[in-house]
Structure formats: structure tokens, C-alpha cells
Chains A and B, each alone.
Chain A
Amino acid sequence: MQDPTPSRLSRPLRIFYLEDNPLIVFHVEQMVEDLGHIFVGSADSFTQLQDIFKDLEVDGVLVDIDLKDGPTGPQAAAWLKERGIDSVFVTGQEQVAAAHGNVSLATLGKPVLEAQLGEKLELFRT
């Protein structure tokens, strides 16, 4: 069998998800994997993200607005940006996300559809 040249485009992305609803985490995790990427893990609050951040190796983070510790998603995205990590908001509150558009690459509405998720994840390739 021929060994394909590793292509930049086909490299799987390492994705982390900041979301406090386990069902949605579960759903998105499956979609991320079905799209051929690696689901690194999830956290349910900004606080928890900060706790585990040092061990994180990711290409991008999906961020919900409302988390277990309040509407801390935008703060989390800004915090990640300071550390050179890109994020995409995944939320039903598109307006709130739009108001914080400077800290994330894009916004993905809920419910999440696989095709749209796939498109947004490609934004993490830098």
C-alpha cells in the first residue's frame, strides 16, 4: 500500500470543549471524532479550564457562553487568546457572542450541525 504524504489539511485537530451540559458535550464529541479530529476533553466552567490548562495541548477550544460558574465563556475566550489559543463560540446566545467577537474566531449556533462544525473547526488551522 502506498504511504500518502502527510498533508497539512488532513492532519486531525485537537479540540477541547468548554460546555456544562454533558449531553451536548457528548454530541459534539462524537461529531468532532466523526469529522476525523481528536476530542481532547471538556470542562464545565472557566474555573475548571484554568485548573487543567497547563496540561492542555490543543489546536482550538469550543466555548459556550453560559457555564457552570456563570456567563464566563467570553472571559474564558479572552483568557485563551492571551495564551495564544484560538476559540469558537458555540452558543444559543449569538448576540452575546457577537458582542465579544474580538476574542474568538467565529460563532456556531446551537443546536450544532456537523457540517457547520466541520467548517468552523478548519479555522483552527494556522
Chain B
Amino acid sequence: MTKNTASLFDHVLILAPYRRDAEYLAHLLGQYEVHCEIGSSTDDLSGLLANAPAVLMATHEALTPVVISSVAEHVRSQPDWSEIPIVVLLDRASNDGRVRTQLERAWPRSRLLFYRRPVTTVELLSGVQSALLARHRQRDVRDHIEREVELRRELNHRVKNILASVSSIFEMTRRNATSVEALADDFRGRLNALDKVHSAVFKAETDNISLEDVATITLEPYRSTMGHRIVFGGPPVMLMAETGTSLALCLHELATNASKYGALSAPGGSVSFVWSTTGGPLPELALEWQESGGPLVETPAQAGYGTRYVRAALGGILGTKPVFHFEPQGLRVTAEGPLSRISAAT
């Protein structure tokens, strides 16, 4: 008996009560590596069907009213993607048309295949194999549906997250805005930064983005007008998408601030953004934003959106708050933390 080894969708359940029909069929199919389970009594038929046979094979004499209704129940309770193939081996003398009509009515949403005995091995085997193949396709459809459900759930989560982010950006921008124009400009700039980093992550077709790419896309608009006044670089570091997004928004704030009030607001000023990593079992990442050649820097009386956001975001990313050094010759922001907190496995 093969009973204990039957598993989902990989076997043919044989119902053939007469003589040694079932064993003969199982042996025949077994020679061609078709795995079979024999339903020797109909008492536990629903249990056997619960093992999810890929194909059901039944001889004419197996089709008692009890069996027909058990199978009908199984067919009815199938999930949407499922349409169980049922191979029926008819008697030489049976009334084909009548049996066919009866079973089609009893078992809707099943794929019925009829053979009249005696049936050649080749015929039966090709029928069973095509039934198994059909069943595999159904299972693929099921997997596909499950993946889609999963993706939709994930998508919903992400959309909600983005909306929450945008809502927070708006609220915080509004709080710090001095005029409607300033609000519009700042909000647009922040949304733009968010949009660009999102596109970059999407294009990469992974959930990772390199630190270099984050710097490039975020600082690009400034570089296009100010060229070599903005330099950046460091060793390759891969970031998780969310970390990349936060960092992009930080760089956006720092760059915007530099162009409004800092080094990039004066003709000769420049900015360098560099990062470095340490070796060892617990490598650290250090970030440094250094401005120079701009107007004389004074410690601001009150921190604005940019400073507060950079503090909160870098603090969240690295586990330690960044330090703002308001040095007269130029703003310097430093931050460091364990690489393991931010980096995606490369």
C-alpha cells in the first residue's frame, strides 16, 4: 500500500473495488512512475479526498451512490482554481451516454475522462499523464493567485506608508513655512526628492540602493548648476530601500539649506559629502557633510525642519543622533553607527 506516502496533488487515487483491479492499475501506472493511492474501502473516502489527489480514477462499479455523493462534495468544495480530473473506466456493456450525463451533473467543475474497458496501457497512461499535467497547471494558477494576493497586500502596505510619509512631510513643512509660496516650494522639493529615490529603487528592481546612487540622484540638481562645487564619495555601501529613502531626504534638506543659507549660497562656496566604513566584525559607517567658503556660520536660535528631520532620521537610521557643528567657516554634520543597521546584504 502507498497510503502513508500520499501527499497533496502528486498522486492518483484509485477506486476499483472488484477483484484485484486497483492493484493492477496501481502497478501499471507505477511502472511509469505515476504515484498511486488505493481507496480500498469507501468508508474513509472523504479522508482520502482530503489528501488532495491530483487525479481520481474510478471503475464503473466503484460508482455507488455513496461514492458519487462523496466525490460530489469534494468537487463542490474545491477552491476556484481547482478542477479535479476524474478518469472513469466504463464497462464493456454499460450505457455510456447515461453514465456520462449522470456524472457530469453530479460533478460539475471536474474534468471527466471516459475510457471503455479493455483499455490499452498506452491509452490509459497518456490520459492519466495529460490529467496530471492539467492538474499541475491548476496548481501553478493557485501559486500565482497566492503570490498576487501577497503582492496586493504588500502594495497596500506600501501605498499607505507613502501616504503617511507625504502627510507627515506636508504637516511638518506647513509648521515651518513662513508663507504659502515657501510652503509650496519646500513641499514640492521634498516630494521631488522622495519621488526620485523611489524611482531609483524601482529601477534597480531590488529593494536596495547604493549610497552612491542616493547621493547622485539627490545632489544631481545642484551639481548640474554648480558642478564641481559639490563633491561626494566613499566605499560601496548598499542600503535597504527605506534607509535609502530617509537618507535621500536628509541629503535633500542639507543641500537645500546649503543653497539657501550655506556654502552654496555664495559664489565660491563648496560642499563635500563623504562616507567611510571600518573593518572588523562590527563595521561602522561614518558620514560627513562639510560646507566651506560660504557666509560666516552662526548657530541658529531655533532648529528648522531640515535640521530637525536630519536629526530624527539619521538618529533613527544609525541609532545615534548626528552632530551639527556650526563652525564659522562652514556647517559640518557628522553621523556614525553600525553598518549592520542600514546595509542590505550585498
Is B313 engaged at the interface, CB distance under 8 Å to the other chain? yes
Per the bound structure, the CA–CA distance linking A92 and B157 in Å amounts to 10
Partner-contacting stretch, out of A17-25, A53-61, A100-108: A17-25
Given A110-B164, A111-B167; A22-B313 close (CB under 8 Å) = yes
Q: A21-B164, A23-B165 are in contact. Are A30 and B313 (CB under 8 A)?
A: no
Contact of A26 among B160, B167, B168 (CB under 8 A): B168
Question: Among A22, A29, A68, which residue has its beta carbon within 8 angstroms of that of B246?
Answer: A22
Q: Which residue of B lies closest to A42 (CB)?
A: B316
Measured between beta carbons, the chain A residues less than 8 angstroms from B169 are 23
Interface string of B310-338 (1 = CB under 8 A from A): 00110011000000000000000000000
Query: Is B308 at the interface (CB under 8 A from chain A)?
Result: yes
Q: How far is the CB of B305 from chain A (nearest CB, A)?
A: 9
Measured CA separation A92–B160 after assembly (Å): 8
Q: How far is the CB of B321 from chain A (nearest CB, A)?
A: 10
User: Does A44 belong to the interface (CB within 8 Å)?
Assistant: yes
A126 CB to closest chain B CB (Å) equals 28
A22-B308 in contact (CB<8A)? no
B contact patch SS: helix
Complexed CA–CA distance, A92 and B162 (Å): 12
The answer to whether the Cβ of B171 comes within 8 Å of any Cβ in the partner chain is: yes
Bound form: Cα–Cα A24–B163 in Å: 11
Q: Report how far A92 CA is from B313 CA in the complex, Å.
A: 21
Cβ contacts under 8 Å, B246 to chain A: 22-23
**B164 touching A24, Cβ below 8 Å:** yes
What A residues does B168 contact at CB under 8 A? 21, 23-24, 26-27, 111
Q: Which of A1-60 contact B (CB under 8 A)?
A: 20-27, 29-30, 42, 44
Q: Is the CB of B164 within 8 A of A92?
A: yes
- The reply on A66 being an interface residue by CB < 8 A is yes
Give the size range of B's interface with the partner.
20 to 34
Residue-wise, chain A 62-93 has the 8 Å CB interface mask toward B (1 for contact) of: 00001010000000000000000000000010
Q: Kindly identify, within residues 142 to 171 of chain B, every residue whose CB is under 8 Å from any CB belonging to chain A.
A: 157, 160-161, 164-165, 167-169, 171
Q: Looking across the interface, which residue of chain B has its beta carbon closest to that of A34? A: B175
A23 touches B249 (CB 8 A): yes
Q: Which A residue sits closest to B160, measured CB to CB?
A: A92
Please measure, in the bound complex, the distance between the C-alpha atom of A73 and the C-alpha atom of B249, giving whole angstroms.
26
Inter-subunit contact A30/B316 (CB<8 Å): no
With a cutoff of 8 Å between Cβ atoms, the chain B residues found around residue A26 in the complex are 168, 172, 308-309, 312-313
Which of B160, B164, B317 has its CB near the most chain A CB atoms (within 10 A)? Answer: B164
**Are A30 and B164 also in contact (CB < 8 A) when A20-B242, A25-B312 are?**
no
Q: Which residue of A lies closest to B316 (CB)?
A: A22
- Find out whether the CB atom of A111 lies under 8 angstroms from the CB atom of B312: no
User: How distant is the Cα of A48 from the Cα of B214 in the complex, in angstroms?
Assistant: 26
When the two chains form their complex, are residues A44 and B316 in contact, meaning their CB atoms are under 8 A apart?
yes
Could you tell me if B317 and A22 are in contact, using CB atoms closer than 8 angstroms?
A: yes
Chain A residues within an 8 Å CB radius of B165: 21, 23-24
Closest chain-A Cβ to B265's Cβ sits at a distance in Å of: 25
Q: Are A27 and B316 within 8 A (Cβ)?
A: no
- Whether the Cβ atoms of A27 and B313 lie closer than 8 Å is no
Candidates B160, B167, B175, B312; contact of A22 at CB < 8 Å: B312
A71 to B80, CA, bound (A): 29
B160 neighbours in A (Cβ, 8 Å): 92, 110
Q: From B190, which residue of chain A is reached at the shortest CB distance?
A: A23
> How far does the Cβ of B157 sit from chain A's closest Cβ, in whole Å?
6
Given A92-B164, A111-B164, A27-B157 contact (CB < 8 Å): no
Q: Given that A21-B165, A22-B317, A42-B316 are contacting pairs, would A111 and B171 also be in contact in the complex, using a CB cutoff of 8 Å?
A: yes
Known: A25-B316, A26-B168, A26-B309. 10 other contacts (CB 8 A): A21-B161, A21-B165, A24-B164, A24-B168, A26-B308, A27-B172, A30-B172, A110-B160, A110-B167, A111-B164
7 A-B pairs closest in CB distance: A27-B168, A26-B312, A111-B167, A22-B313, A22-B316, A23-B168, A23-B165
Q: Report 30 cross-chain contacts, Cβ distance below 8 Å, ordered by A residue.
A: A21-B164, A22-B246, A22-B316, A23-B168, A23-B169, A23-B309, A23-B313, A24-B165, A25-B312, A25-B316, A26-B172, A26-B308, A26-B309, A26-B312, A26-B313, A27-B172, A29-B312, A30-B172, A30-B308, A42-B316, A44-B316, A66-B157, A92-B160, A92-B164, A110-B160, A110-B164, A110-B167, A111-B167, A111-B168, A111-B171
